[in-house]
A = this chain, B = another copy of it.
Amino acid sequence: MTDARFEVIGRDGPARRGTLRLPHGDVPTPAFMPVGTRAAVKGLTSDAVEALGADIVLANTYHLHLRPGDDLVARAGGLHAFMGWSRPILTDSGGYQVFSLAARRTLDEDGVVFQSHLDGRACRLTPESVVDIQARLGSDVAMIFDECPSWPATEAEVAAAVDRTVRWARRGRDRFLELRAGGAPEVPRATPGQAQFGIIQGGTSPSLRDRSVEGTLAVGFDAYAIGGLSVGEPTALMYEIAAHTAGQLPEDRPRYLMGVGMPDDLVECVARGIDLFDCVLPTRNARNGQVFTRTGPLNLKNARYAEDDGPVDPDCRCPTCRRHSRAYLRYLFQAGEMTAAALNTAHNLWFYLDTMERIRKAIEIGTFETFRREFLDAYSRRPNPI
C-alpha cells in the first residue's frame, strides 16, 4: 500500500474521520461493514443493501471456499460480478470459522486441516492458500490467516497464537506480494488492486498485544485489524485493549476492530481510534426479532408491542420505520413470515449505518465528544425502549 489508500481528513481527540480508497470505491470512515457471510446479507437483496447506504460489505472466505468454491467465483469474474455488488468487499480469512465451525481440525505450523461442516470433506487452509483463495474471490481487502485462541486462554496459549500469527502473517504477505508481482500466474487475481490487512492478536494482555503489533508491523500491511476481542471478555476490558492496541498502530493506516459490536461499542471504539467495524449483531438479532433504537434494543417478541402502532424508532427514517408499525413487525415475526427478517434487518442495518454517519459528521464538525455523551446517555443495553 501507499498512503494513497487511506487519508485522515479530520480528527476529534483519538477519533478519526478518513477515506479508505479501494479498487471498487471509496469508503468514508469510521465505517461499519454489514456481514454477507455467504455472498448475501441474509434476507436482503444487494439492491436493498445498497439503498441502505452500505459502502462496503464483508464476505467469508471459509464459506465461499467450500461453496460455491473460489474457482467457480473466479471463473464468474470474481465475487463482485458473482454476487452483483459493485462496491468494495472485505473477505475475512476463514480462520475464525475453521476454529468455530469445522467438524474436526488439526492445527500445525503449516496450517489447518479440517472437515467441511457441509459434507465432511477434508480441507486444508494455510497462510498461503488463504491468500490465493481471496485473490480468486477478488475482494477489495484480503485478511491474513490468523490463529484466534478461544477465551479465556492461558498466557502461554495466547503468546503461542501471537507468534504463530506473526509467522503466518509473513508467509501470507510473501504470497500476496508474489501474486501481485505476477509470480503465480496460475492464480487468477480478480481484483488487481486488492489490499491486504494484518491481524493483531494477544488476547487481553497489553504486553502480548504489543508483541503482536511489533511483529505484524515488521511484516507491513495496508492496514491493521485487531482480532481476538469480543470473544467473551468483559466489555470494559475489550475497550481497554482496543484502545491500547490502537495506540500502538501507525497513524496513517486504518484500524479495524473485528467482530465488534453493540451500537454503543461502535461509538466507544471510535472514541479509541478505531476506523472499521463488522458484526453479525444487527443482522442476526434482526432475524431473532430484536431491533435497535436510540434508547436501546427492542424485542419484538414482547406482547407489549402486539398493538403498538408506532414505528420501531420514531426518529428513524429507514424504509421499515417509514412504512410499518411495531405491531405488524411483531405479528410477522410471530407468524414466521420471512418478510420479518427482511424488514428487521433493513432497520437494524440502517440504524448501524446511520450511527456511523452521525459519528462521521460529529468528527467533521468537532462535536464528537458531545455526540458520544448524548448517544450513551440515551442508549441502554437493556431492552427498555421509547
Task: Kindly list chain B residues whose C-beta atoms are within 8 Å of the C-beta of A327.
Answer: 68, 72, 76, 82
Selected contact of A338 from candidates B42, B47, B76, B324, CB within 8 Å? B42
Selected contact of A325 from candidates B42, B47, B82, B338, CB within 8 Å? B82
Closest chain B CB from A141 CB (angstroms):
21
Docked-complex contact B40 and A323, CB < 8 angstroms = no
Q: What is the chain B residue whose CB lies nearest that of A327?
A: B76
Docked-complex contact B331 and A68, CB < 8 angstroms = yes
Docked-complex contact B337 and A38, CB < 8 angstroms = yes
Docked-complex contact A45 and B325, CB < 8 angstroms = no
Q: Which of A15-52 contact B (CB under 8 A)?
A: 38-48
A interface residue count range (under 10 / 10 to 19 / 20 to 34 / 35 or more): 35 or more
Selected contact of A342 from candidates B44, B72, B76, B307, CB within 8 Å? B44
Docked-complex contact B343 and A76, CB < 8 angstroms = no
Docked-complex contact A84 and B342, CB < 8 angstroms = no
A346 lies within 8 A of chain B by Cβ: yes
Selected contact of A309 from candidates B76, B339, B342, B346, CB within 8 Å? B76
A332 lies within 8 A of chain B by Cβ: yes
A319 lies within 8 A of chain B by Cβ: yes
Task: Kindly list chain B residues whose C-beta atoms are within 8 Å of the C-beta of A307.
Answer: 72, 75-76
Complex CA distance for A42 and B337, rounded to whole angstroms: 6
A207 lies within 8 A of chain B by Cβ: no
Q: Which of A293-348 contact B (CB under 8 A)?
A: 306-307, 309, 319-320, 323-325, 327-328, 331-332, 334-335, 337-339, 341-343, 346
A123 lies within 8 A of chain B by Cβ: no
A67 lies within 8 A of chain B by Cβ: yes
Can you spell out 30 A-B residue pairs with CB atoms less than 8 angstroms apart?
A38-B335, A39-B328, A39-B331, A40-B339, A43-B342, A44-B339, A44-B342, A45-B323, A45-B346, A46-B323, A46-B324, A47-B319, A47-B323, A67-B334, A68-B331, A72-B306, A72-B327, A76-B307, A76-B328, A81-B309, A82-B325, A82-B327, A82-B328, A82-B331, A83-B328, A84-B324, A84-B328, A338-B338, A338-B341, A338-B342
Other A-B pairs beyond A45-B346, A84-B328, 20, CB < 8 Å: A38-B335, A39-B328, A39-B331, A39-B332, A40-B332, A42-B339, A43-B342, A45-B339, A45-B343, A46-B324, A47-B319, A68-B306, A76-B309, A76-B325, A76-B328, A77-B309, A82-B325, A82-B328, A83-B328, A84-B323
